[in-house]
Amino acid sequence: MTSEQSEQPRRDQRRTQQQEKRGMSTQSAQHVPETNARGRLTQEQRLANSLGWFGIGLGLAEVLAPRRVAAMVGVSQEHRTLIRMMGLRELASSAGILNDRSSAGAVWSRVAGDVLDLVLLGAAFTSGRSNRTRLAAATASVAGAMVMDVITAQQLSRGIETRGGMIRISAALIIDRAQEPLYRHWRELSNLPQFMKHVMRIEMSDDRRSHWVAKGPVGSTIEWDAELTEDRPNELIAWHSVDGSELDHAGSVRFEQAPGGRGTIVAVEMQYRPPLGTVGAAVAPWFGEDPNQTVKMDLRRFKQIMETGEVITTQGQPAGREESTSWKYDHAVRQ
């Protein structure tokens, strides 16, 4: 972990203070998710980038020097034309990826290409004229590339953006209530599991410290201690996990008066560094296909509680099937 990386959650709070000094007028501009504002590539995009350039290199070799490629992977020279075709395919899908590094579709098309390559390599095994050892090595590297492709494509289609090892999420929702009751309800951190579906419980250790228990992958739990880093009544609450926690997490919620007296805009920003630095594998189930959308659903439940006093549900209603409700659609966001 570089110092730049571990700085990130904290840097955010500094920014809020600066923004505080600059006054109200710049506040809404701050809501533009900084992931985009900063313009740097996410880890997923960078991965896609290198996959793209790798593909261009491979494709060019296949098109321009099919004989050498054939010798390298251990197949007979007579497959030159086929190798050229594979090269063209590789060039096309790589160009697609480089053209839009956030496009999951382009990376998925590369995965399809990998499958095709594997099938062809598999077929080559049955040919007497192939060099088995080289073929095995080639197959292993295509399979390896495919794993990278699949991971990248999955992350991209989930919309997960990792920067400096951090997944950052932001969402905002307008609630037809004044800042004060919204702040008060949130400040009582033990209320959060009412609307944050992946958090099972939060216990307050003292006024600034809390212990969080959340659902982990496949029935496990993840626990960590958090402390408030900022608490400005009716305006902002910020917290982060304490050093040495299983999960490196920071979050903030801002309560900003909506224009025209139309209630309050509640803006949440969260950052997670997944345990072991994996590309989001452990916490991905919380966020399902679209992390921002999932946090927005949490915010939506917060809104329901504050505006109507209850969370709308269908869980437990009858249907002509065992599984009686629509909640699985809500869960689908996370799965």
Partner 1 sequence: MRANCWYGKQDMRVMDVPEPKLLNKQDAIVKVTSTAICGSDLHLYNGFVPTMEQGDIMGHEFMGEIVETGSEVKDRRVGDRVVVAFPISCGQCFFCKKELYSLCENSNPNAWMAEKLFGHSPAGIYGYSHLTGGFAGGQAEYVRVPFADVGTVKVENGLSDEQVLFLSDIFPTGYMAAEQCNIQPGDTVAVWGCGPVGQFAIRSAFMLGAERVVAIDRFPERLRMARDGGADTIDYEKTDVYDTLMQLTGGRGPDSCMDAVGLEAHMPGPLYYYDRVKQAVMSESDRPIALRQAIMACRTGGTVSVPGVYGGLIDKMPMGAVMNKALTIKTGQTHTQRYFQPLLKRIVDGQIDPAFVVTHRMKLKEAPEGFALFNQKEDGCIKIVMTP
Q: Which is nearer to partner 1, 171 or 202 (CB)?
A: 171
Tokens standing for residue 303: 């809104």
Contacts (Cβ under 8 Å, ≥6 apart) of 244 = none
Q: Which is nearer to partner 1, 172 or 247 (CB)?
A: 172
- List phi, psi (to 5°) of 265: -95, 120
Nearest approach, Cβ of residue 259 and partner 1 (Å): 13
Beta bridge partners of 228: 239
Q: Which is nearer to partner 1, 188 or 310 (CB)?
A: 310
Q: Which is nearer to partner 1, 240 or 303 (CB)?
A: 303
Number of DSSP helices (H) and strands (E) in the chain, helices first:
12, 8
Q: Report the distance separating Cα 46 and Cα 107, nearest Å.
A: 12
Q: Report the distance separating Cα 150 and Cα 133, nearest Å.
A: 26
Strand 209-215 to strand 221-232: parallel, antiparallel, or no bridges (unpaired)? antiparallel
Q: Report the distance separating Cα 84 and Cα 92, nearest Å.
A: 12
Nearest approach, Cβ of residue 174 and partner 1 (Å): 8
Nearest approach, Cβ of residue 180 and partner 1 (Å): 17
E strand residue ranges, the chain: 162-163, 166-175, 199-204, 209-215, 221-232, 236-241, 248-257, 264-273
Q: Which is nearer to partner 1, 27 or 292 (CB)?
A: 292
Nearest approach, Cβ of residue 44 and partner 1 (Å): 20
Nearest approach, Cβ of residue 173 and partner 1 (Å): 9
Tokens standing for residue 82: 């086929």
Length of the chain equals 335
Q: Which is nearer to partner 1, 4 or 329 (CB)?
A: 329
Sheet holding 236-241, edge to edge: 162-163, 166-175, 264-273, 248-257, 236-241, 221-232, 209-215, 199-204
Please say whether the beta carbons of 276 and 217 come within 8 A: no
Nearest approach, Cβ of residue 317 and partner 1 (Å): 5
Nearest approach, Cβ of residue 192 and partner 1 (Å): 19
Q: Which is nearer to partner 1, 3 or 308 (CB)?
A: 308
Q: Which is nearer to partner 1, 249 or 303 (CB)?
A: 303
Contacts (Cβ under 8 Å, ≥6 apart) of 7 = none
Nearest approach, Cβ of residue 240 and partner 1 (Å): 27
Tokens standing for residue 247: 């999960």
Instruction: Please give the residue ranges that form the binding site for partner 1 (CB under 8 A).
Output: 174, 176, 262-263, 290, 293-294, 296-297, 300, 303-304, 307-321, 324-327, 329-330, 333
